[in-house]
Amino acid sequence: MNQIEEYVEVESYVKFLKDAYEIAIGMLPSLIKAALIFFIGLWVVRFINRLVHRFFEKKDYDLTLESFLASFINISLKGILFILVITQLGVKSSSLVAVVGAAGLAIGLALQGSLSNFAGGVLILIFKPFKVGDWIEAQGVSGTVTDISIFTTKLNTFGNQAAIIPNGNLSNHTIVNYNTEETRRDKITVGIAYDANIKTAKDILLEICEKHPGILKDPEPVVYVANLADSAVELSLRFWAKNEDFWAAHFHVMETLKYEFDQAGIEIPFPQTVIHGLDNRPKAID
């Protein structure tokens, strides 16, 4: 019985190997075709992506549109390639549609954030609250927009760090775009001592603005008494400058006003509290 059982096991093993060999031989043409489609398809996808980039480089399109469309075309082409490879392996299109539908539902529920990011990218493309090259402030981050993809937007911060923000958050929250207008208005508040001459201080501030080439003369700079604070009279200087000159003008005014105030003897007081005491000690009787 042992020899018979061993013989049956060997026969079963041989039959299994024979069936496996026949299946492999039968699938070999499909596997070879699928491999060829995969590698040739990857080359075609890269080639088309290069053509897309060259096309956008020759045409003067919006950089935001270029970045978004290039990312979308790349992902779409790879998705089509995946379907071609799977169907070549013998998966029926009807079965594939059913599987993709079920998988799409499951993935959609699991990746609701990614879908909202995709929708946010479409909204950014349509309404254009900012474009590549703009300096924006959003989600607590400020920086220059360097890339807008279908899911995220990349900023280069003032410290040269890369900040990646999901498009869903950008499309649903406040965005401050500093490049929408060509000019910006600065507001600098400085305190002077109560015994200082207000007119002299205002004249000094306006003269500083007059001498700086980056500060616009129309609208002209103005100075107001903004507040009578506890320790100082607060003056508010407001001037306009082009975006490219704004920070240079701001830092120049901040530095120069301190120097000019010192030369004119105008004190910039620091916060202080004056305490007056009463002498309640009993006086001696003569």
Rounded to an integer, what distance in angstroms lies between the CA atom of residue 240 and that of residue 276?
44
Q: What is the pLDDT of residues 14-72, one digit of tens each?
A: 666 666 666 666 666 777 777 888 888 888 888 888 887 777 777 666 666 677 777 77
What is the fold of 183-264? Alpha-Beta Plaits (3.30.70)
Q: How far apart are the first and last CA of the chain?
A: 139
Measured distance CA(116)–CA(122) in Å, rounded: 10
Kindly indicate the confidence band of residue 285, based on its pLDDT and cuts at 50, 70 and 90: low
What pLDDT was estimated at residue 169? 86
- Class at the top of the CATH hierarchy for domain 120-177: mainly beta
Burial class (CB in 10 A: 0-12, 13-18, 19+), 200: middle
Q: Residue 247, SS3?
A: helix
Domain assignments of the chain as residue spans, ordered by start: 7-110, 120-177, 183-264
pLDDT above 70 coverage of the chain, percent = 73
CA distances (Å), origin 4, targets 7, 9, 12, 120, 135: 5, 9, 12, 70, 83
Candidates 97, 83, 81, 74; CA nearest to 151 is: 74
Query: What gap in Å lies between CA 175 and CA 177, rounded to an integer?
Result: 6
186: closest CA among 213, 209, 166? 209
The mean per-residue pLDDT over the stretch 136-156 comes to 90
Q: Among the listed ranges 77-81, 148-152, 204-208, which one has the minimum average pLDDT value?
A: 77-81
3 state DSSP class of 243:
helix
Q: Does domain 7-110 sit in CATH 1.10.287.1260?
A: yes
